[in-house]
A and B are shown apart, each in its own frame.
Chain A
């Protein structure tokens, strides 16, 4: 069965992590997931606009959902920020009649209406549905890869909105990672926020949180961090460059997207997986990945 989705990239991926989009597309193609370009969207608004003005956020984000609904499609996004924002909007517009009326009144002149028909899914949710199929496609085992998997907040919390995995003991994406032969290590800061949303208010605090996370990942013996979100990845693959503990020891670990390691294990062409664009050096794990 071919599944098709309107793919919502958001603005962080095309700006900073084109390797995430490219590796997602490669994996989707291999698994027969059809991704339709989302024309005429806007940014999801994210927690940034929600922090400034909830009505503006609901209308900007609600418009994107209404567009997909008009086209008769569901939405898939590889970004936790977009996923959280769209899901949360869907949740509020579904439950809160006052906001729904307000947003729909604004959408009406644009020929749009939110009724809640379009489903919003994270790309990893779609992958998890295809877990058995992915397993049959693994041709190159990534034995020796010790992954500190960072699920990110908005993929799993608040659970009544995200509805994807156990918010205190998420395992689903870890199961996908372990299909490749890699180990998803236990690290005590795994569920903690990466600090990325704080870059706008205080880079110092954001970096402090990142440092705590990386001390934990290193302590657990991980040799890389894996994420499924460009906002989190901004912390792990940009802010992490040169990161040290208070004694001056390097905390740097390679940062990969989940689609990059799945693609590598599925034996896909390396070029579209975009490893050249990873900023923190992949040298320590080059051999395992077959680069």
Chain B
């Protein structure tokens, strides 16, 4: 099965059209995005990143792709293989909120349908049940734990409807 994500695998032999200023503008509006220009490519972010040796495109390269307005960045595996560990953000000498910017990129990719299948299922269960996982009642009985307090699904749904969670793709 071909995945919808991570399909930009290498810069080798790639020719890019003119830089897309609109895309740069869009990503600079993400949470943390205003500092993109401060990145001086020291690659300290990639040095401490737990997936640097497991991805095709590393995080410091992602940072530069955004600044250059290369939309292909949404198709790099780094977007969804970022574990959100915040090591890069904690260590960036320029104080750039790298992980937060990546969350914004994930949002953009999701809207375009570039996402691991697991996220589609997770969205549905968060919307339908207000939670990701169901309680294991027999264990709770054995430990004499009270039932888990009721989740309020109706109110949560109202909020998620307002934010159009189930219609993100149509927002294009």
Contact = CB atoms under 8 A, between A and B. Distances in A.
Nearest to A273: B143
Contacts, number: 183
Given A109-B158, A205-B51, A157 B85 contact: yes
A50 B103 CA distance: 7
Nearest to A212: B50
A38 to B, nearest CB: 6
Contacts of B116: 200-202
Interface stretch (A56-64, A68-76, A260-268, A281-289): A56-64
Interface string B100-113: 00011011001000
B69 interface: no
A159 B80 contact: no
Interface residues on B, range: 35 or more
A79 B106 CA distance: 23
A48 interface: yes
Interface string B114-150: 0110110011001000111111100110011110111
B87 interface: yes
A67 B90 CA distance: 31
Contact of B134 (A15, A40, A167): A15
A60 B126 contact: yes
Kindly name the residue among B89, B133, B151 whose own CB sees the greatest number of chain A CB atoms within 10 A.
B133
Interface residues on A, range: 35 or more
Interface in A164-206: 167-168, 191-193, 195-198, 200-202, 205
B122 A54 contact: no
A33 interface: no
Chain A binding surface, main DSSP class: helix
Contacts of B118: 200-201
A98 to B, nearest CB: 10
A52 B106 CA distance: 7
A46 B132 contact: yes
A16 B54 contact: no
Contacts of B163: 53, 55-56, 59, 106
Interface of B: 5, 31, 50-51, 54, 80-81, 83-87, 89-90, 97, 99, 103-104, 106-107, 110, 115-116, 118-119, 122-123, 126, 130-136, 139-140, 143-146, 148-153, 155-156, 158-160, 162-163, 165, 168
Interface of A: 9, 11-12, 14-16, 18-19, 21-22, 25, 37-43, 45-56, 59-60, 63, 92, 96, 106-107, 109-110, 153-154, 157-159, 167-168, 191-193, 195-198, 200-202, 205, 208-209, 271-272, 274, 277
